[in-house]
Structure 1
């Protein structure tokens, strides 16, 4: 067994590798939620100390941490996201923006 938690002695199919990565993806999402709440607490305390003002915690309730995607998108995933984005934008123009694509894939396009 290698450090990712699945046997890699014989080449596995792409589907088998993706299925084994699902547990890692779920663990990563859980870690992001846990770290996110900790980072929000740090931000709250930092703002209170910086401004020397006792802000109410509810003022930070709407803040959502923004994370990079857990795994790099492969060519197949990029194609699926691209097809979906085109179809959604045909139905609702401007629904999928370059920022949305960046959030889904981690790929940043060139400057306009």
Structure 2
């Protein structure tokens, strides 16, 4: 995996993936402020949970091909198939899901990134 891909995904994780509207996940559980009905939020309103609050603390190495398939309008079942269940305590009616992803950087060190849908 090249460094530009890692930077791209890291940027998405750090900044949040704001354009995804997840079908069937309308509810009240969220950390970020100002999420609209389409699932979009301004970058400055994105809040990531504390890594210590994850139920799956070690994170996962995602499949890069599956990450590329995540686009606006994807439904929750497809998201589960592509990257699995969220790593935090998001419930059935969550407005946002959070993941912990691991990538190798150019020095082959593991880099931890948070990813929000």
User: What's the TM-score bracket when you normalise by the shorter of the two chains?
Assistant: under 0.3
Report the TM-score when normalising by structure 2: 0.23
Report the TM-score when normalising by structure 1: 0.24
More strand by share: 2
Structure whose alpha-carbon radius of gyration is higher? 1
More helix by share: 1
